[in-house]
Amino acid sequence: MTVTRVAAIDCGTNSIRLLIADLDPATGEITDLDRRMVINRLGQDVDRTGRLTPEALERTFAACREYAGLIAAHGVGPERIRLTATSASRDAANAGDFTAGVKDILGVEPEVITGEEEAHLSFLGATKELTGTDLPTPYLVFDLGGGSTEFVLGAAEVQAARSVNIGCVRMTERHFVGSEIPTPDQIARARADIGAALDLAAETVPLDAAATLVGVAGTVTTVAGIVLGLPAYDSGRIHHSRLSLEQVREVSTRLLGATHAERAAIPVMHPGRVDVIAAGALVLLEVMERTGAAELVVSEHDILDGIAWSIAP
């Protein structure tokens, strides 16, 4: 079977990401041609208002226009483009405005996928290249996004999956707005909220049953970069790095106690994550503590890679 060129777009609550890649289904190899991210904050105020704001829609459409030019330059036809939209556009009453705008720009209709489908794609992207490694199964993959976090347990195939509404943007807007440094009471309320969501996840996915915990998405990779002390974001160093529970606890405590300026000065910090990284790191810590994992494997390959593989013939 020949190599297939695809374009995958993941539009989440906090960011919209593009992957243009060549796939070789025979070998399982994925070759990046272009991989990039724009912080569009589509989920701005959705938790409070139930609607996508005009400003958030325009930021998203601007990113789509940029991506459309890149896709055309790489010669990817519409039959090999897939855009999935997740938490924010599931929750918004005016999701139709988003759908119409994206279709007009990219020529394909966005698929507003369920949390469970999101979880399956994340698992595919994160674990496809782990086959044959020394990492024991089953894997528990968690995708810590802006509005939701997906948990998927499986080995060769998915055994259980659940999406719950905890993410770095949602937790920030619910609990940390108005405080540059969260107060102990705000942190306690956020912990309780996260804990309740993890209880829901555990009804479907046995969170303590995994032999290997795999974390994906921007909060997890940013925390990994901080733990590694990188002078700049380096996906090659971050991919498949391993973080201990104590390292994650130390970084979470540091971020929750840091000012906006102190967080912004961290070399691996993307400007669009500065205001939400503390809440994200708290979610990450709570997940590790709930699962009982002493170690976390960090993957740069996630739902975006899963979307790409889902397009392959």
H/E stretch holding 48 = helix 46-49
pLDDT at res. 264: 97
Tokens of 27: 């070998």
pTM of the model as a whole: 0.81
Say which residues have a Cβ less than 8 Å from residue 22's Cβ, sequence separation at least 6. 3, 4, 5, 30, 31, 33
3-state helix/strand/coil string of 123-145: HHHHHHHHCCCCCCCCEEEEEEC
Tens digit of each residue's pLDDT (9 = 90 or more) over 181-204: 999 999 999 999 999 999 999 999
Residue 281, SS3 per DSSP = helix
Residue 223: name the closest of 143, 282, 291 by CA: 282
Partners of 31 in the β-ladder: 22
Those residues of the chain that have pLDDT short of 70 are 1, 87-88, 132
pLDDT digits (tens, 9 = 90+) for 117-171: 887 888 888 888 787 678 899 999 999 988 889 899 999 788 999 989 999 999 9
Token reading at 152? 């998927």
The count of residues in the chain is: 313
